[in-house]
Amino acid sequence: MKANCWYGKQDVRVVGVPDPRIINRKDAIIKVTATAICGSDLHLYNGFVPTMEKGDILGHEFMGEVVEIGPDVKKLRVGDRVVVAFPISCGQCFFCKRELYSLCENTNPNAWMAEKMFGHSPAGIFGYSHLTGGFAGGQAEYVRVPFADVGTVKIENGLTDEQVLFLSDIFPTGYMAAENCDIAPGDTVAIWGCGPVGQFAIRSAFLLGAERVIAIDRLPERLRMAQEGGAETINYEVEDVYDLLMQMTGGRGPDSCIDAVGLEAHMHGPLFYYDRLKQAMMLESDRPIALREAILACRNGGTVSVPGVYGGLIDKMPMGAVMNKALTIKTGQTHAQKYLRPLLEKIQSGAIDPSFVITHRLKLSDAPHGFATFNRKEEHCIKIVMTP
Amino acid sequence: MIGAPTARPQLVRAMGVREIASGVAILGGLVAPGTAVWSRVLGDAVDLASLGAAMASPRSDRGRLLAAGAAVAGATILDVLCARQYSPGAERRKGPLPVTVSLVIDRSPEELYRHWHDFANLPTFMTYLEYVKVLDDRRSHWVAKGPAGSHIEWDAEITEDRPSEYIAWRTVGDSDVEHSGSVRFAPAAGSRGTLVTVELRYRPIGGSVGAAIASLFGKEPSQTIKMDLRRFKQVMETGEVITTEGQPAGRAQSTSWRYDSAVRT
């Protein structure tokens, strides 16, 4: 089959690879009908995520048709149309039982590696380096899905691929980010980053009862899309974000702030690695401008919600502001499985049509071009969907 | 005498007091020996700094200063080595034993004890084992994967067996991989399953004994044992050990040789 594989910094290629097969008893094989490029894929693309190996298949946002099931798969049948959640979760451990699926204890074969970096390992993830298990990803014609009963949701009534594909990652991510804000009636939510996650966070914030959403970015097409979602916008290249937020909120600050930017350009690798793996990792001093701004702008006693991906260490974290303002910080990789069904219902009821975020439609074989376009934010690119 | 330009009686007396205080701390036992010896290292650093400062003065005798500096540097090295011997981790640096690893598993002590006690099950989560043949209720024969496709074999016997609580075993007879181990099952706090603690003991690494043990448990045995426990947890909680071996990739080998084997080699 064809798959989009990583070969180095800004080097992805669609090559012929063997078809996947059932390896564990709860696996299913999915024939991919739609797959997307995530903003976090760009960290892999730009060489900032350690433990990538040449030939790793990328992609963690995908859906398709079940073509084969393992002996212990109970809920799926061959022919079912499913969307797959990006974390791989067993459904049986301490964390899965509490719906904290991205923290599953049993799905990272390389848990020892993540433990050295983070203290404990989170769940395995599709196509996102060997730190998260090295699982083959979904920018391919076929994918092997471990714990398929836990990680999938069936699509049964007439919705198109474009309407449901984003249940795999970015819609739950934006939604969980907004949910983590504990939005109360009358609240103002400020959101840094108008990429796809930010766009879903905007709409989710309104769904969860926010009265005002203020979205911050610099690209005109992204600000426009944010406005179409009901947000007031700030262009941080033109305005001072803190000053304007103070004006707009009467000096009190937004009730909650979402950092949907994350590490963006830099990724840290702490030096806690096992000697054998010591890749020369440079401890870059990243500047989490969005996180810092969010902490300073947030009103006293408010919540800073961080769906933006961070991997290592940051400098100059305003911990004094966090403490003295009694802020709550809520964060985490999305527990996507928890949101699959509730958000599918919202799509079915017409409350939201996630396909609004798509700007580019490509064939899988154009993936290298898609990555380059997305990375450089050319052609007003916001979200790319690919079909094999 | 050491070549410093002026004698400063107060300074010399202060240094003397410092040395005596260090000595009392080391010998007196009021402070942890490691800390006391590190205080000597601190004193050595101050001495070296003072000598360095004295070098800057045109009135000092350089030759004598250098000699004094060399003597202090020598003492510093000895002090550092001694301090490390007493510091936490010294046991580990001498040789990685005993190894103790714990993990909490969401199953009852009875279930976990039962699965572990049938040693024929061990290869499902101890991946360096080829198979274990249980001979009777105390003795078993173990076959492990050695380097370059070879096999390492040994006999073992259970030395203590408390159902649902504790199993201890050790290798029998003369063996290159002589070791003993135990596993303890205790109810975890908050009814959250069982706390499983594995302890492994073997003679220090060195010579042929070391090579055989190292090929079994890798360069960092606590890491290997922890991975074993993680796999045991997966088997007991989900029925299987999750793996990516055999998955597709755009390279000759399907999985990552670098990370999968990193702990063993």
Which chain A residues contact residue B258 at CB under 8 A?
Answer: 53, 130, 277
Find where tokens 């067993």 sit.
A90
Q: Any chain B CB within 8 A of the CB of A70?
A: no
Bond into B98 cis (ω within 30): yes
Q: How far apart are the first and last CA of chain B?
A: 56
ipTM of the complex: 0.90
Which chain A residues contact residue B219 at CB under 8 A?
Answer: 276
Do strands B166-172 and A152-154 pair parallel, antiparallel, or not at all (unpaired)? Answer: unpaired
Please state, in angstroms and rounded to a whole number, the distance separating the CA atoms of residues A24 and A237. 50
Indicate the pLDDT class of residue A274, thresholds 50, 70 and 90.
very low
Which chain B residues contact residue A97 at CB under 8 A?
Answer: 106
Which chain B residues contact residue A277 at CB under 8 A?
Answer: 258-259, 262
| Mean pLDDT (whole number) for A253-261 | 97
Which residue out of B124, B242, B253, B263 would a mutagenesis test of the A interface target, given it has the greatest number of A Cβ atoms within 10 Å?
A: B242
Q: Of all residues in chain A, what percent are helix, strand and coil, respectively (each to 5)?
A: 30, 20, 45
Which chain A residues contact residue B245 at CB under 8 A?
Answer: 23
pLDDT digits (tens, 9 = 90+) for A106-129: 999 999 989 988 999 999 999 999
pLDDT at A379 over 70: yes
**Per-residue DSSP letter, A17:** -
CA distances for A335 relative to A87, A258, A307, A352, B103, angstroms:
7, 17, 11, 20, 24
Closest CA relative to residue A308, chosen from A358, A264, A269: A264
pLDDT digits (tens, 9 = 90+) for A38-78: 999 998 998 878 899 999 999 999 999 999 999 999 999 99
Q: What amino acid occupies position A226? A: A
Per-residue pLDDT at A277: 39
Which chain B residues contact residue A15 at CB under 8 A?
Answer: 250
Per-residue pLDDT at A275: 29
Per-residue pLDDT at B176: 74
Per-residue pLDDT at B81: 67
**Per-residue DSSP letter, B165:** T
**Per-residue DSSP letter, A135:** B
Under an 8 A CB cutoff, do B256 and A94 touch? no
Three-class DSSP category at A28: strand
Per-residue pLDDT at A47: 84
A291: tokens are 């996180």
How far is B159 from chain A, CA to nearest CA, in Å? Answer: 31
Contact present, B130 and B143 (Cβ < 8 Å)? yes
Residues, chain A, total? 388
CA distances for B40 relative to B44, B71, B78, angstroms:
6, 14, 10
Locate all alpha helices (DSSP H) within chain A, ordered by sequence: 41-45, 94-97, 111-118, 148-151, 161-164, 170-179, 196-207, 220-228, 241-248, 289-297, 319-324, 336-348, 367-376
| Sign of the four-CA dihedral B85, B88, B90, B93 | negative
Q: Any chain B CB within 8 A of the CB of A120?
A: no
pLDDT at B42 over 70: yes
Under an 8 A CB cutoff, do B244 and A26 touch? no
Sheet bearing B194-202, strands edge to edge: B99-105, B194-202, B179-187, B166-172, B151-162, B139-145, B129-134
Q: Which residue has the higher pLDDT, B75 or A5?
A: A5
Indicate the pLDDT class of residue A294, thresholds 50, 70 and 90.
very high
Mean pLDDT comparison of A260-274, A364-378, B4-18, B143-157, highest-scoring range: A364-378
How would DSSP label each residue in A48-87? -STT--TTEEP--EEEEEEEEE-TT--S--TT-EEEE-SE
> What is the share, in percent, of chain B residues with pLDDT greater than 90?
40
Q: Any chain B CB within 8 A of the CB of A147?
A: yes
| Mean pLDDT (whole number) for B48-68 | 72
Which of A3, A23, A26 shows the shortest C-beta gap to B250? A3
Which residue out of B196, B222, B238 would a mutagenesis test of the A interface target, given it has the greatest number of A Cβ atoms within 10 Å?
A: B238
- Give the B-side interface with A, CB within 8 Å: 104, 106, 192-193, 219-220, 223, 226-227, 230, 233-234, 237-240, 242-251, 254-256, 258-260, 262-263, 265
**Averaged confidence pLDDT in chain A:** 92
Contact present, A93 and A327 (Cβ < 8 Å)? no
Please state, in angstroms and rounded to a whole number, the distance separating the CA atoms of residues B58 and A349. 89
**Per-residue DSSP letter, B147:** G
Mean pLDDT comparison of A171-185, B38-52, B118-132, B161-175, highest-scoring range: A171-185
> What is the share, in percent, of chain B residues with pLDDT greater than 70?
76
C-alpha A197: how far from chain center:
7
Find where tokens 């650093």 sit.
B45
Q: Which residue has the higher pLDDT, B177 or B171?
A: B171
How far is B221 from chain A, CA to nearest CA, in Å? Answer: 13
Q: What amino acid occupies position A367? A: A
pLDDT digits (tens, 9 = 90+) for B62-106: 777 777 777 777 777 777 766 665 555 544 445 446 889 999 999
Element (H, E) at B131: strand B129-134
Which residue out of B125, B219, B240 would a mutagenesis test of the A interface target, given it has the greatest number of A Cβ atoms within 10 Å?
A: B240
Which of A21, A97, A134 shows the shortest C-beta gap to B259? A134
Cβ-Cβ contacts under 8 Å between A and B: the total is 118
pTM listed for this prediction: 0.82
Indicate the pLDDT class of residue B2, thresholds 50, 70 and 90.
low
Q: Which residues contact A198 (CB under 8 A, 6 or more apart)?
A: A174, A191, A192, A215, A217, A222, A226, A258, A260
Which residue of chain B has the CA closest to A133? B244
Residues 246-275 of A with CB under 8 A from B: 274
- Please count the other Cβ atoms lying within 10 Å of the Cβ belonging to residue A257: 30
